[in-house]
Amino acid sequence: MRALLSVYDKTGILELARGLHDLGWDLVSSGGTARAIRDEGIPVADTAEITGFPAILGHRVVTLHPKIHGGILADRSNAHHVAEMADYGIEAIDLVVGNLYPFGADPDAFDHGGGGAEDLIDIGGPAMVRAAAKNHAHVGVVVDPGDYDGVLAELRADGALSDATRRRLARAAFAHTAAYDAAVVAWFDEADDPILPPTLHLSATREPRELRYGE
């Protein structure tokens, strides 16, 4: 079994990586996540070892490669997919762990005239998360560090994640990328400064918050 780990929020990622390694999983990662895992003494392959390409274009292209996305998106029950994976040397990826930079969290990075914010728009991360969520029949996807313990517990007990767990995690993954895209849209709206933008993009969570009187 193989897991791809690439996270902005590294809360609990080393414990998860250690737990997966102890279960016999192979780990793949890139950038700061790979360094953190490697520094902990946990074996991890860099994505460049898988793809044969280093990160290019100022790290705009790191994981956008058939050997990554083919491994995530392949339907293991489809004989044609399995044959193509063999033909092109693509190994399956069974778990994707990823979360995204909180776009808009640092106001100093969001000078509408300076162009810095565009460099903070993540492309590869959402693509991997969405690919895994799309293929949740075969792949687990985890975007919330709060799910790490439960995922490890289920893997230890059952050897795999249940269909229900993968579906629940996929739903959370799509919610995560939707909230990210909504933040990017809000940045564009703020730059254009309309009285009312042509469309509204809302993202809600179930996390409790304290309301003011009358709300």
pLDDT surpasses 90 at 165: yes
208 pLDDT more than 50: no
Q: Would you call 113 helix, strand, or coil by DSSP?
A: coil
> What global pTM score does this model have?
0.84
Between these two residues, 106 and 131, which has the higher pLDDT value? 131
Helix/strand/coil for 112: coil
Question: Does residue 16 or residue 201 have the better pLDDT?
Answer: 16
pLDDT digits (tens, 9 = 90+) for 170-187: 999 999 999 988 888 887
Could you give the C-alpha distances from 101 to 29, 64, 86, 120, in angstroms and in order?
16, 18, 34, 8
- C-alpha–C-alpha distance, residues 190 and 201, integer Å: 13
Q: Which regions of the chain does DSSP assign to beta strands (E)?
A: 2-7, 26-29, 45-46, 95-99, 140-142
Q: Distance (Å, rounded) from C-alpha 71 to C-alpha 167?
A: 19
The architecture CATH gives domain 2-192: 3-Layer(aba) Sandwich (3.40)
Domain residue ranges of the chain, discontinuous segments joined by +: 2-192
Model pLDDT for residues 22-75, shown as the tens digit of each residue: 999 999 998 889 999 999 999 999 988 888 878 787 777 777 888 999 999 999
Strand 140-142 vs strand 95-99: parallel, antiparallel, or unpaired?
A: parallel
Residue 214 is predicted with a pLDDT of 45
Determine the Cα–Cα distance for residues 152 and 137; give it in Å rounded to an integer: 18
Instruction: Compute the mean pLDDT over every residue in the chain, rounded to the nearest whole number.
Output: 85
* pLDDT for 210 beyond 50: no
What the block records as the tokens of 109 is 């990075």
Q: What is the pLDDT of residues 64-120, one digit of tens each?
A: 888 999 999 999 999 999 999 999 999 999 999 999 887 765 545 555 444 567 777
**Res 137 pLDDT > 70:** yes
Q: What whole-number percentage of the chain has pLDDT above 70?
A: 82
